[in-house]
């Protein structure tokens, strides 16, 4: 049985990482499944634990922006400016990778995603560890991401060595991924930092790179999916059955079970994954979701909902 520890036992987690073992850790977005990003065998254990395809790249978490020069090359002023503005925070920068990154982290690519998470427990862990921690979400691949330590244990008990309990994730959906390579600034995944915010900082248009080759975490068509099939509500009540669980932004009348979330996109994002897990626990045969309609995080929420509702791969 996997041990769940708190912030007072971080030395144990550091020792585990240095020994090539797996440690689940909290961030402001979701919980990550961490391994030493320079240790090929440890990174390989992440893919096995998650059931993740070997070619699907991981994000490397570092303690501060000074680590950019160690883990990336050809880092230009735009990347430094974004790091200085949004780190620690829910922004991942995809840059040309250095030789320090284990090849398994990037799935054979010449780029790597780097991020400084905005969570005091994990920042302290990273400082004590002194390296990079490769960390996808700490759940089975393609399933709903975890926002609490208990969610991690529900999915990966016995497959991860330690889980650090840092409380519920504040943002609730994964980081924005921005690729800064050559002349382009490309959005690969929306998240807690908006494309408009990036454009305001850089004075350069952000190109939407979604829908192309999967070159970063969360770019597959089907992802973030609960056990039950998901439909986004379009006003057609004939879709409801007695065993439908509704996840709704704001009030919603339904004879079955309704899980109500805040009507603003940020509040909805904060509770979305927990609601999907709860719907599965209730034995839902079908999950109907009424999304929010406004807020800066709306693109990120709609992205996650579209992937949760997509045909399963």
Q: pLDDT (tens digit, 0 to 9) for every residue of the chain, 313 residues total? A: 799 999 999 999 999 999 999 999 999 999 999 999 999 999 999 999 999 888 889 999 999 999 999 999 999 999 999 999 999 999 999 999 999 999 999 988 999 999 999 999 999 999 999 999 999 999 999 899 999 999 999 999 999 999 999 999 999 999 999 999 989 999 999 999 999 999 999 999 999 987 666 566 655 566 778 999 999 987 766 666 668 898 998 777 777 788 999 999 999 999 999 999 999 999 999 999 999 999 999 999 999 999 999 887 6
The residue among 235, 311, 231, 224 whose CA lies nearest residue 272 is 224
> How confident is the model at residue 53, as a pLDDT?
86
> How confident is the model at residue 254, as a pLDDT?
72
Distances in Å between the alpha carbon of 33 and those of 27, 100, 123, 135, 281?
11, 20, 15, 5, 23
pTM for this prediction: 0.94
Non-local CB neighbours of 271 within 8 Å, separated by 6+ positions: 172, 261, 262
C-alpha angle 154/157/158, rounded to 5°? Answer: 165
> How confident is the model at residue 294, as a pLDDT?
93
> How confident is the model at residue 111, as a pLDDT?
95
Task: Give the C-alpha separation, 193 to 295, whole Å.
Answer: 12
> How confident is the model at residue 33, as a pLDDT?
97
232-263: b (≥16 Cβ within 10 Å) or e: ebeeeeeebeeebbbbbbeeeeeeeebbebeb
236 half-sphere exposure, CB direction, 13 A CA radius: 5
> How confident is the model at residue 257, as a pLDDT?
86
> How confident is the model at residue 251, as a pLDDT?
72
> How confident is the model at residue 256, as a pLDDT?
75
Q: Where are the domains of the chain?
A: 3-208, 230-309
**Strand locations in the chain (E):** 3-5, 23-25, 32-36, 59-61, 72-73, 91-97, 111-115, 133-134, 162-164, 176-181, 184-189, 207-208, 230-232, 244-249, 257-261, 286-290
244-249 and 257-261 beta bridge pairing: parallel
Instruction: Indicate the CATH number for domain 3-208.
Output: 3.90.870.10
């Amino acid at each position: 049985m996997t041990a769940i520890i708190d912030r007072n036992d971080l030395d144990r987690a550091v020792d585990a990482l240095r020994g090539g073992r797996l440690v689940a850790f909290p961030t402001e977005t979701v919980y990550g499944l961490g391994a030493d990003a320079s240790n090929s065998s440890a990174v390989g254990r992440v893919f096995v634990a998650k059931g993740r395809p070997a070619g699907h790249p991981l994000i490397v978490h570092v303690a501060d922006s000074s680590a950019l020069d160690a883990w990336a090359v050809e880092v230009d002023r735009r990347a430094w400016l974004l790091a200085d503005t949004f780190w620690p925070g829910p922004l991942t920068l995809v840059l040309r990778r250095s030789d320090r990154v284990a090849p398994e982290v990037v799935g054979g690519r010449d780029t790597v995603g780097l991020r400084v998470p905005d969570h005091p427990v994990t920042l302290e862990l990273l400082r004590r560890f002194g390296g990079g921690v490769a960390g996808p979400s700490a759940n089975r691949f393609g399933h709903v991401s975890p926002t609490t330590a208990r969610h991690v244990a529900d999915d990966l008990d016995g497959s991860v060595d330690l889980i650090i309990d840092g409380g519920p994730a504040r943002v609730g959906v994964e980081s924005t991924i921005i690729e800064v390579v050559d002349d382009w600034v490309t959005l690969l995944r929306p998240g807690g930092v908006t494309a408009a915010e990036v454009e305001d900082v850089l004075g350069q248009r952000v190109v939407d790179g979604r829908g192309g080759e999967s070159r970063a975490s969360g770019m597959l068509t089907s992802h973030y999916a609960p056990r039950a099939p998901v439909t986004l509500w379009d006003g057609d009540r004939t879709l409801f059955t007695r065993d439908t669980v509704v996840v709704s932004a704001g009030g919603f009348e339904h004879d079955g079970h309704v899980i109500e979330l805040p009507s603003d996109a940020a509040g909805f994002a904060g509770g979305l994954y927990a609601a999907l897990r709860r719907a599965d626990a209730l034995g839902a045969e079908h999950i109907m979701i009424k999304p929010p309609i406004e807020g800066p995080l709306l693109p990120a929420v709609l992205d996650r909902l579209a992937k949760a509702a997509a045909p399963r791969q």
